[in-house]
Chains A and B, each alone.
Chain A
Amino acid sequence: LAKTTQPISMDSYEGQEVNITCSHNNIATNDYITWYQQFPSQGPRFIIQGYKTKVTNEVASLFIPADRKSSTLSLPRVSLSDTAVYYCLVGDTGGFKTIFGAGTRLFVKA
């Protein structure tokens, strides 16, 4: 199983770009990297998923270097409503097991 390591918490200010890095040194060839966002009193919500290089959607960008041992979630111009916990997940090689780590608590200040 690919274990992930993320910073426990991060602070930012409104309007800034936030980059959250996740380490996954034991990622397997067929594994994808997925990020979820969780607000208080809600279930996690899918943000973005990628395999290599760069993926961008209307919410975020995901940067994955060639060795795929880490990935960076980039949130452009954050607002107070982006305050949440962000989880990085790496798929098990068997394809069926999903493991959430402790996540990164992002605090966006005015």
Chain B
Amino acid sequence: EAGVAQSPRYKIIEKRQSVAFWCNPISGHATLYWYQQILGQGPKLLIQFQNNGVVDDSQLPKDRFSAERLKGVDSTLKIQPAKLEDSAVYLCASSRQAMNTDTQYFGPGTRLTVL
């Protein structure tokens, strides 16, 4: 089966600009996650969707970050405006359901550099 797809793979922008990332999860997976991974750190969960509803967005900086999964399939994460500290890899993952015992399948990530 096809894995989690993400695009773009790399993005370079200047601070205060906007950027959007796209993720297409594995077919049939109800749960979709967006993580931020800063160099040298573990992934930090930004937002978790169950179908098209938000399960957890407690660590999403809502003043500048937004995410949607309108049809319960693919998802978009947006940053507006970007700050230097947003430079990181943004990982998308999906799982069949939302339980902590479910395996998460990760995409290759989008590496964002904010200048």
Q: Chain A: residues with CB nearer than 8 A to chain B?
A: 31-32, 34, 36, 41-46, 49, 85, 87, 89, 91-92, 95-103
Q: A31-B100, A91-B101, A98-B104 are in contact. Are A43 and B109 (CB under 8 A)?
A: yes
Partner pick for A32 among B42, B44, B101, B106, CB 8 A cutoff: B101
Partner pick for B42 among A34, A96, A103, CB 8 A cutoff: A103
Partner pick for B91 among A32, A43, A89, A102, CB 8 A cutoff: A43
A42 to B40, CA, bound (A): 13
B101 near A44 with CB under 8 A, answer no
Contacting residues, chain B, for A91 (C-beta < 8 A): 99-101
Interface size band for B = 20 to 34
A96 near B56 with CB under 8 A, answer yes
A96 near B103 with CB under 8 A, answer no
A96 to B100, CA, bound (A): 6
A100 near B42 with CB under 8 A, answer yes
> Taking the nearest CB of chain B, how far is it from the CB of A15, in angstroms?
28
CB nearest to A94 among chain B residues: B100
B100 near A46 with CB under 8 A, answer no
Q: Is B45 an interface residue (CB 8 A)?
A: yes
Q: Is B43 an interface residue (CB 8 A)?
A: yes
CB nearest to B101 among chain A residues: A32
Q: A96-B48, A97-B56 are in contact. Are A44 and B43 (CB under 8 A)?
A: yes
Contacting residues, chain B, for A97 (C-beta < 8 A): 45, 48, 56, 100
A46 near B104 with CB under 8 A, answer yes
A92 to B104, CA, bound (A): 15
A42 to B35, CA, bound (A): 13
CB contacts under 8 Å to A, within B13-46, are 33, 35, 40-45
Q: A43-B106, A44-B106 are in contact. Are A96 and B41 (CB under 8 A)?
A: no
CB nearest to A105 among chain B residues: B40
Contacting residues, chain B, for A36 (C-beta < 8 A): 104
| Contact indicator per residue, chain B 73-115, by CB within 8 Å of chain A (1) or not (0) | 0000000000000000001010000111101111111000000
